[in-house]
Amino acid sequence: MNLALFDLDNTLLAGDSDFEWAQFLIAQGVLDSELHAAKNQEFYDHYKAGTLDIHAFLDFQLAPLARHSRSELDTWHREFMATHIRPIMTVAARALVKHHLDGGDLCAIVTATNSFVTGPICREFGIPHLIATIPAQESGQSGQFTGKPRGTPAFKEGKIERVEAWLETLGLWWGAFATRHFYSDSHNDLPLMTRVSHPVAVDPDDTLRAHALAAGWPIISLRDC
């Protein structure tokens, strides 16, 4: 058995689902464009520099979910998929996923973006497992989000913790697989990339590209020409 793990934003997607969700909410009049854009840019600059405070970012990212009912959010998300996400799901990315699925590999998306935003995207790719940052819900049957994360965010070393916990639920571990692929664009994913047997840099940032070149890792592009 082989394992195939995929980062989502700027890897399988030719864009960032969290950024696109914010842009969608701005277009709906839910978020203030000027205020949100400035704060989002600040967090993104820290992300690129490798200095992001993930908990501060999640307080910012998850707050809009807590202000609206699940039915309203779900309705918005269906439109979001059609207008913002499917257009950035490239043919090459779909083909890569299909290659691993057809080969019988155990496949999962591993992403720091929250599972509300990314769950439908994962299903659209046909990938059966999602390891994402989990937005906490209130007790009861409303499904209302609290605006806070639950458990360890799937970010940097947290991705390793979450993947290993997921494998344990399946009665598996790293050594259960003949090969272990992980595809990512970001140097923030270096902890998990160094844990697998086949790390692949996908349209990488400058830091990851330099690391991949030095380590002899494959560098590929999933952008449609």
Tens place of pLDDT per residue across the chain (225 aa): 999 999 999 999 999 999 899 889 988 988 888 778 888 788 888 888 889 899 998 998 899 999 999 999 999 999 999 999 999 999 999 999 999 999 999 999 999 999 999 999 999 999 999 999 999 999 878 889 999 999 999 999 999 999 999 999 999 999 999 999 999 999 999 999 999 999 999 999 999 999 999 999 999 999 975
End-to-end CA distance of the chain: 33
Is 7 considered catalytic here?
Answer: yes
CA–CA separation, 139 vs 158, rounded Å? 25
Domain assignment present for 200: yes
With respect to residue 146, please indicate whether it lies within any of the assigned structural domains: yes
* Alpha carbon distance 155, 199 (integer Å): 17
Whether 60 is in a domain gets the answer: yes
What CATH number is associated with residue 14?
3.40.50.1000
Classify residue 75: in a domain, yes or no: yes
Residue 102 within a domain: yes
CA distances from 219 to 11, 90, 184, 199 (A): 12, 17, 10, 9
Domain with 91, as residue range(s), is 3-220
CA distance 163 to 176: 13
Question: Token pair of 89, please?
Answer: 């799901």
- Of the residues 9, 16, 185, 205, only one is catalytic, namely 9
| 225 in any annotated domain | no
Considering its fold, how many domains does the chain have in total?
1
* Paired tokens of 210: 């330099």
For residue 48, is it within any domain? yes
Say what the pTM is: 0.94
Catalytic site residue from 7, 16, 105, 189: 7
Distances (CA, A) of 84 to 76, 121, 180, 181, 203: 11, 11, 31, 28, 20
- Per the annotation, the verdict on 185 as an active-site residue is no
- Contact of 104 with 123, CB cutoff 8 Å: no
Residue 78 lies in a domain: yes
Spatial distance between the Cα atoms of 184 and 21, rounded to a whole number of angstroms: 20
One-letter amino acid of 77: H
